[in-house]
């Protein structure tokens, strides 16, 4: 069955169309993980490195960094990565 906590979240979602828990989680994770994970060869560790070293949060920012040759200079990445 569904526990009390989950039931309350479902009720909140149905009443408001939003979920406070999700909004908080979204703020904690500023990176567009789902889109970046779709890129072949890009896993959680690489995404974390890109965010920490270059501030990359989206596929668009990743593309700009690649065009500028910034990715190949990072440890664990090379020219092939760009």
Q: Are residues 37 and 4 in the same domain?
A: no
pLDDT in tens, 16-73: 999 999 888 877 777 888 899 999 888 889 999 999 999 999 999 999 999 999 998 8
User: pLDDT-based confidence at 80, cuts 50/70/90?
Assistant: low
Whole-number pLDDT of residue 82: 64
Whole-number pLDDT of residue 61: 95
Q: Are residues 37 and 49 in the same domain?
A: yes
Q: Are residues 21 and 35 in the same domain?
A: no
Taking the CA atoms of residue 35, residue 38, residue 42 and residue 46 in that order, the dihedral angle to the nearest 10 degrees is 30
Alpha helix (H) ranges present in the chain? Answer: 4-16, 20-28, 33-37, 44-54, 59-67
Please give the residue range of the domain that contains residue 65: 31-82
b/e code 2-12 from CB counts within 10 Å (16+ = b): eeeeeeebeee
């Amino acid at each position: 069955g569904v526990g009390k906590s989950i039931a309350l979240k479902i009720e909140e979602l149905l009443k408001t169309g939003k979920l406070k828990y999700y909004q908080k989680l979204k703020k904690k994770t500023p990176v567009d993980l789902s889109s970046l994970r779709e890129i072949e060869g890009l896993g959680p560790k690489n995404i974390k490195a890109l965010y920490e070293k270059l501030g990359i949060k989206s596929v668009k920012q990743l593309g700009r960094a690649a065009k500028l040759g910034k990715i190949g200079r990072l440890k664990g990445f090379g020219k092939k990565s760009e």
